[in-house]
Amino acid sequence: MNNLPTTHLSDSPFGTKIKSEDIAETLCFFDDWEDRYRYIIDLGKELPTLPVSFRTDENLIIGCQSQVWLVCEYDETNNLLLMAVDSEAQIVKGLAGIVLSAFNKKAPQEVADFKIETFFTNIDLFSHLSSMRGNGLRAMVKKILYVANRHC
């Protein structure tokens, strides 16, 4: 475990105030992908900054075009996965926020059961991302699902 203070992990609005269904609904309002990209970048601005001490190789997501650090902790008392993520690229932070909207502050079984690929298809995400960005997003999901499945 990375032992990021629980207070920092619970600061994120993703998964509670910002939910996957809200993001999907908002994305549908935009007519073109330029507006959607701006919205995704704005989502990234809502992510709390990950302390520099957690920008380690252990937390680095391999396969991303940009550097992305993900901390995923299991809160045994509340049976929840708590996450924090950061990147130096604003669009990547927004994409990470989309992932957190589906998985953060959820029970491990709920995370494991969530149909993330269907969600990505419904918001037409991968057809508008480079293959490197798509691979990075999938690598982030893979790491989260690994942690969730260990606690199901």
Long-range Cβ contact pairs of 137-141 (< 8 A, separation 24 or more): 137/95, 137/99, 138/63, 139/61, 139/62, 139/63, 139/64, 140/61, 140/64, 140/68, 140/70, 140/85, 140/96, 140/99, 141/99, 141/116
Catalytic residue among 28, 64, 72, 152: 64
8 A C-beta contact, residue 36 and residue 49: no
**Cα 104 from Cα 84, distance rounded (Å):** 9
Q: Among this protein's residues, is 64 annotated catalytic?
A: yes
Determine contact, residues 73/1, Cβ cutoff 8 Å: yes
Tell me, rounded to whole angstroms, the distance of Cα 114 from its chain centroid: 13
Token look-up 């690229």 returns 89
Residues recognised as catalytic: 64
